[in-house]
Amino acid sequence: MHLALQVRNRRYMLSLTQEQLAEKINCHVNYLGGIERAERNLSLILLIALAKGLECTLKDLLPQY
């Protein structure tokens, strides 16, 4: 599954809005929306922050690796 879908599905599973997750990971909500639509690239630092904010591991977000 693509990273964008993993992020969105995990966020839904935790009942978080984009605004809540963006605040949790210190990211602008528009940028997070772009990540979820696979329109934005992200740094390793932001990927790690996403994993922490979504209470999962990098392996959970990127199972194909």
Contact 51, 60 (CB under 8 A): yes
Instruction: Give me the pLDDT at residue 46, please.
Output: 97
Instruction: Give me the pLDDT at residue 22, please.
Output: 98
Question: pLDDT band at 1, cuts 50/70/90?
Answer: low
Instruction: Give me the pLDDT at residue 60, please.
Output: 94
Contact 31, 40 (CB under 8 A): yes
Residues 6+ apart with CB under 8 A from 63: 1, 6
pTM: 0.90
35-39 mean pLDDT? 96
Q: Which two tokens stand for residue 15?
A: 């009942």
Instruction: Give me the pLDDT at residue 56, please.
Output: 98
Q: Report domain extents, the chain.
A: 3-54
What is the spatial distance between Cα 47 and Cα 56, in angstroms, rounded to a whole number?
A: 11
**pLDDT over 90 for what percent of the chain?**
94
3-54 folds as 434 Repressor (Amino-terminal Domain) (1.10.260)
